[in-house]
Amino acid sequence: MNINHLSASNIDQQHIWHPYSAIGAGHSVFHVASADGCILKLQDGRELIDGMASWWSVIHGYNNPQINEALKKQLDLMSHVMFGGLTHDPAIKLATKLIEITPPTLETVFFSDSGSVAVEVAMKMAIQYWASKNLPQKQHFISARNGYHGDTLGTMSVCDPVTGMHSLFSKTLTQQYFIPAPQTPFGESCDESELTDLRQTLENHHHDISAIIIEPIVQGAGGMRFYSADYLQKTRALADEFGVLLIFDEIATGFGRTGKLFACEHTSITPDIMCIGKALTGGYMTLAATLTTRDISETISSGDPGIFMHGPTFMANPLACTAALVSTTLLLESPWEKRIDNIEQQLKQGLEQCITLPNVQQVRVLGGIGVVELNESVDMRTIQPLFVEQGVWIRPFGKLVYVMPPYIIKDAQLKTLCDAIYHVISAL
């Protein structure tokens, strides 16, 4: 089929899938020509302040000179080499850095291509760990409602059954155990009664449960909900009591987004397995990692078949590892805590005006995350162009209009984002 006669926009609309979209549906898609700092420049010349950090990953902004230079040097050495039977400096150096900055009990690293795969790896680790301990029946998971852990089949099974697309794939997905979403707000202590369902589920089914999986502190794509660190403390205690593992999905929360380097640092506990991604490479390359304890990795390695059963083709890609190493170093050497605190204060001040609007249910801010929850779901075909007209890139979903901007964003740009949110919501 020859489609060269079509315009770029027609090719895109008729032949290219975008996330959660339909072919030829007429949704607005805006053509980006270049990006620099916090600015997306469209092909038609318009400039947009990026409030999304490209789905929360571009923490240093676009076109960062240090990451650019490191990637150019690595490209001259090698862009890729298989990780089966081979290794390389970028992977070794990155693993060393990740072990250094994550909780001290996490000592081994498995690299993968995306956040969803990192969670798949975590789930397989948990199952294979128990199989290596002669408990092969422990193959199910407990997950919180309103949770989101990815779009692959395994990860979908632990996403919220209603918002996580279960209805389409219910006959294919493994049936997991779900407990109510944490309700106590961030910064408050939760009552033991909030974990009654978790305790009861563990009492009844711990013999076939391998792990509890949860997004610490922030339930991301499932609702942008911020909850009590005390809930996680109590969850850790129950996991230990009933002999199941605890998996933290830090893909959205890692690398400073909540005001701590990792969200688990809001607590005094550590998970048995932790997944990281998104901001890992500063948004430059697709890369994720699953970290676990020495006990889990050695138990898997000493059991049958004596290896961990997973191996992506592009595992530990040298370019991606290089980007991640430089991005992580840039973050640690920057005043990132002050930047996140400033973003938090600016978002609180700037979004406060939205609470007066009749179609707004709640405004909430934590770290570098600002959320305006509406009473009704938005119409993307209406609201997205309105934000572009305001000179900002904000991508709402459901009832949520939210921002998670790059950490280098300026106060004036933040104000423009907040004013645009108020203006667009008030006009709906």
What radius of gyration, in Å, describes the C-alpha atoms of the chain?
A: 22
Name 72's Cβ contacts closer than 8 Å, sequence gap at least 6. Answer: none
Cα dihedral 388/394/398/404 (nearest 10) = 180
List, as one string, the DSSP characters of 23-49: TT-------EEEEEBTEEEETTS-EEE
pLDDT band at 416 (very low <50, low <70, confident <90, very high): very high
pLDDT at residue 282, rounded to an integer:
98
Q: What is the pLDDT of residues 85-129, one digit of tens each?
A: 999 999 999 999 999 999 999 999 999 999 999 999 999 999 999
Indicate the pLDDT class of residue 203, thresholds 50, 70 and 90: very high
Q: How many CB atoms lie within 10 A of CB 72?
A: 10
User: Could you list the active site residues?
Assistant: 20, 148, 249, 278
Coil, strand or helix at 185: strand
Dist. CA 345–CA 253, nearest whole Å = 18
Query: Is there a contact between 276 and 291 (Cβ–Cβ < 8 Å)?
Result: yes
Instruction: Quote the longest CA-to-CA distance of the chain.
Output: 65
Sign of the CA dihedral running 178, 183, 189, 192 = negative
Q: Which residues pair with 402 in a beta bridge?
A: 371
Q: What's the pLDDT score for residue 164?
A: 62
Report how far residue 129's alpha carbon sits from residue 181's, in angstroms, rounded to the nearest whole number. 27
45 vs 176: CA distance, rounded Å: 49
Question: With 70 as the cut, is the pLDDT of residue 25 above it?
Answer: no
- Measured in whole angstroms, how far is the alpha carbon of residue 117 from the centre of its chain? 12
Domains of the chain: 31-63+335-427 (3.90.1150.10), 67-333 (3.40.640.10)
Q: Report pTM.
A: 0.97
* pLDDT tens per residue across span 274-285: 999 999 999 999
Residue 76 has pLDDT above 90, yes or no: yes
Pairing verdict, β 288-293 and 273-276: antiparallel
On the CB side of 21, CA atoms within 13 Å amount to 17
